[in-house]
Amino acid sequence: MSAEIKLAKSSLFLSAFLWGFGFVAVEGALISGWDPMTLLAARGFIGGLLLLMFSYRRKFWRNKALMIEGIKAGIFLTLGFVGQTYGQAISGPANASFITAMYVIFVPIIGAIWYKDKIHPLEIITSITAFIGVALISVQGSIRVNFGDIWLLAGALFFAVHIIKLSQLSHFNDSLSLTTIQLFTMSAISSTFLLFTDTNFTASGLYYVLYIGLISSGIAFFLQTFGQKSVASSVASIILTFEAIFGVLGSAIVFKLVIPTQTWIGGILLLGSVFFLEAMPLIVKKKS
């Protein structure tokens, strides 16, 4: 494995780690009284402002193609977070982490049907294994299908398209600018909706919002965009599902929860799927 691939995969794992704790922060912000759309507007603006401090020297706004594609990716990102945040507000974090992680299944399917991407059968098996692991981690009881779950399913679909889209933008070789454009796009879209709604703003839980904006959005999405320059979308989606493990660990630390055996089994399946994914090129080469 080349140093470039190792760095890319490390970036994706770190992104998943930051996202996992982001689930805890989102739940804290929602409990504190933050409206989902207000939260999205704030996280996009805070994260975008952070990255703009480093990307403004590149004058990315002069690159028309980069701006257009970055805005397109930002729209998919926004739609994914709208589904996830509204869904979590209704269904709770357990259902949110489980259903959102279905992007690990959607990515290879959408890539193969819509974008004509080639996919090896072993990648499908690995994706299913990872999804089962996520289910064991996230679902500690029965899941009731409700309106919130429909929001979450829609969010997972758009996250899958977003992951594929990022893989197609690697030729720009400017992860910092692309992430900045996406976050400001999310903030602009969410803020536009706020103009037509009667939303109350609150300072309660602001530290949760700052974490979501600076860490989960600004830093984590930069790491994702950077990592996907060198990693296939199907591989990236499996690595990113580790946010479920980190989400459970974050909940255990913040809310002092006891991690059950079922969760550890799910974690082993997730780890096993990634190790298999790493060994798959050697398996295919030997078989050939």
Residue among 233, 275, 244 nearest 8 (CA): 233
Measuring CA to CA, which residue among 218, 271, 263, 242 is closest to residue 51? 218
pLDDT for residue 190 is more than 90: yes
pLDDT of residue 234: 75
Q: What range defines the domain where residue 174 resides?
A: 3-251+258-287
Please state the domain count of the chain: 1
**Nearest CA to 100 among 113, 91, 110?**
91
The string of pLDDT tens digits covering residues 132-175 is 877 776 666 665 556 788 898 899 999 999 998 988 888 888 99
In this model, does residue 284 exceed pLDDT 70? Answer: no
Check if the beta carbon of residue 166 is closer than 8 Å to that of residue 226.
no
Per-residue pLDDT reduced to its tens digit, 11-48 = 999 999 998 888 889 988 998 989 999 999 999 999 99
Contact at 8 Å (CB) between 117 and 111?
yes
